[in-house]
Amino acid sequence: MSESISSGPTDPGAEIAQKLGTLRAEFEAKLAEARDDAALQRIKSDFFGPKGELTLMSRSVGQLPSEQRPVMGKAINEVKRALESELDRKIQDHEARKRDEELRRSRLDMTLPGRALHAKGAVHPVARVMYEISDIFARMGFSVATGPEVELDFYNFEALNFPPDHPARDMQDTFFVRPPDGRAIKDLVLRTHTSPVQIRAMERQGAPIRIIAPGRVYRCDQDATHSPMFHQIEVLCVDEGVSFAHLKGTLTSFIQSFFGSRGVRFRPSFFPFVEPGAEVDMQCTMCGGEGCRICKQTGWVEILGAGMVHPVLLESCGIDSERYTGFAAGLGLDRIALLRWGLDELAHLYRSDVRFLSQI
C-alpha cells in the first residue's frame, strides 16, 4: 500500500515533496533578490510566519495517512531548518554589512589635524628680539642686570655725567614723576635709557663686570619711528686692558650674528658718559646698502650708541680708573624689530593686533 501511495500522481506525500521543491526554489530566488531589511522580513513571514508557506505545510502533515506523517514531517522540518538557517545567515550578513558601513561613515580619522579652539599665542616681536640678543651676549660671557623704570634723576642723568641743566639732557625728552610725598619734581623720572643700570651694577658689583641690561625706557616723543615707551639693551664691560678694539670687535660680532654678515661702521658721537663716543651703523637690511626708504637713501642705518666708559663714572662707583677701563653700548630693540621685519611704523608693535602680530 505504501508503494501505490508514494508513486501515484494523487499521492499526497509526492505532492508535498514536489511543493517543497517549488517552495525551495521560490525561497532561493527571493532570498537572492532581497536587498534590505524589509525584504528579508517579508521572506521570513511569507515562509516561516504563522501563515507562512512552510508553517502551513507542516500543519498539513496531519492530514496525511499516518504512515507517511513521520517521513514527510521530517522532510518538511529538514527543509524548514535548512532554509531558516540560510535566511538567518543572510540576515546576519546584512546586519554586519550595515554595521561596517556605519563604522566607515563615523570612523574617527586619527591622522586628521585637530581643530584648534583657541589661537595659540606667541612671543611678542620685541621680546623675541630681546631674547635673541640676550642669548648672543650670554654666549660672550655677559650676564643680565636690571634696574627700576621709575628712576632717580641721579642715576638717569647726574651719575652719568649729565650735570644739571646740561644741554645734553635735551637729547632725551624726559617724563618727570611727581611722587606722593611731594619731593622736588625733578628728583624722579621715568628712565630715558637703560644706562642708569651701568651705575647701579658697578656700584653693586665693582670691576671686573660684564653685563647686559634689557628693559623699558620712556621719552616724551611720538611719531612713526618713536614711541613714548620703547625698549633698550645696555651693554657694559669693564676689566683690565679693555680697549676700543674690544668695543668694535664685540659690537661687530653681535651685529653680524644677529643680522648676518654685513658692513658695520663707527662714527664719532657724543654721550656725556663715554669718551670717546660713537654711533654705530650697519648696512641697511632692506636694500643691502643700495639706498631705500628705510635707510633714507644712505644705505646705512644707525643701530646703537657706544663708547669707552668715562673715567668719571668708574671713579664715582669706586673703581680705579687707572687700572680698569671699559666700554658701554645701548641699542633700541624696537628699532631692531622694525629692521628685522621691515616694518614701516613702530605703532604696529603696540596695537596688539593679532592679524599683524601673526605675520611675524
Which residues are at the interface with ligand PHE (CB under 6 A)? 193, 195, 271, 274, 277, 305-307, 328-330
Q: Min. distance of Cβ 195 from ligand PHE in angstroms?
A: 4
Q: Min. distance of Cβ 194 from ligand PHE in angstroms?
A: 7
- Is 64 or 306 the residue whose CB approaches ligand PHE more closely? 306
Q: Min. distance of Cβ 134 from ligand PHE in angstroms?
A: 16
Distance of CA 268 to the CA centre of its chain: 44
User: In terms of DSSP bridges, do strands 176-177 and 150-152 run parallel, antiparallel, or are they unpaired?
Assistant: unpaired
- Is 215 or 307 the residue whose CB approaches ligand PHE more closely? 307
- Is 20 or 280 the residue whose CB approaches ligand PHE more closely? 280
- Is 193 or 210 the residue whose CB approaches ligand PHE more closely? 193
Residues 6+ apart with CB under 8 A from 42: 34
Say how many CA atoms lie within 13 Å of 78 toward its Cβ.
9
CA distance 217 to 291: 30
- Is 80 or 335 the residue whose CB approaches ligand PHE more closely? 335
Strands in the chain per DSSP E:
143-144, 150-152, 176-177, 188-190, 209-218, 229-240, 264-269, 274-283, 300-309, 324-332
Residue nearest ligand PHE (C-beta atom): 330
Integer Rg of the chain from CA: 47
Q: Min. distance of Cβ 117 from ligand PHE in angstroms?
A: 44
Which triple of cell numbers denotes residue 186? Answer: 625733578
Q: Min. distance of Cβ 327 from ligand PHE in angstroms?
A: 8
CA distance 303 to 317: 28
Q: Min. distance of Cβ 178 from ligand PHE in angstroms?
A: 24
The answer to whether 43 and 34 are in contact (CB under 8 A) is yes
- Is 68 or 174 the residue whose CB approaches ligand PHE more closely? 174
